[in-house]
Amino acid sequence: MMELTILGCHSATPRANKHTTSQLLEVQGNLFLIDCGEGTQMQLRKCKAKFSRIQHIFISHLHGDHFYGLVGLISSFRLLGRSAPLHVYGPKGIKEIITLQLKLAKSWTDYSLHFHELSSSKSEILFEDEVVSVATLPLDHRVYTNGFLFTSKTTKRKINTAAVADLDLEHYHYRQLQQGLPITLADGRSFENTTLTLAPEPAKKYAFCSDTAYLESLIPLVQGVDVLYHESTFLEKHADLAEKTKHSTALQAAKVAKAAEVKRLLLGHYSNRYTDKEEFIKEAAPVFDAVFLSEDLKTFSI
DSSP 8-state class, residue 157: P
In angstroms, the Cα distances linking 15 to 8, 10, 69, 214, 268 are: 11, 9, 14, 27, 15
What DSSP state is assigned to residue 206?
E
- Active-site residue (options: 65, 211, 226, 296): 65
- Residues 6 or more apart from 299 whose CB is under 8 A from it? 3, 4, 5, 6, 47
Told to judge if 289 belongs to the known catalytic residues of this protein, a careful annotator would answer: no
Compute the distance between CA of residue 11 and CA of residue 278 in angstroms, rounded to an integer: 17
Distance CA 85, CA 103 (A): 19
Spatial distance between the Cα atoms of 41 and 286, rounded to a whole number of angstroms: 37
What is the C-alpha separation between 255 and 263, in angstroms, rounded?
13
List the catalytic residues.
65
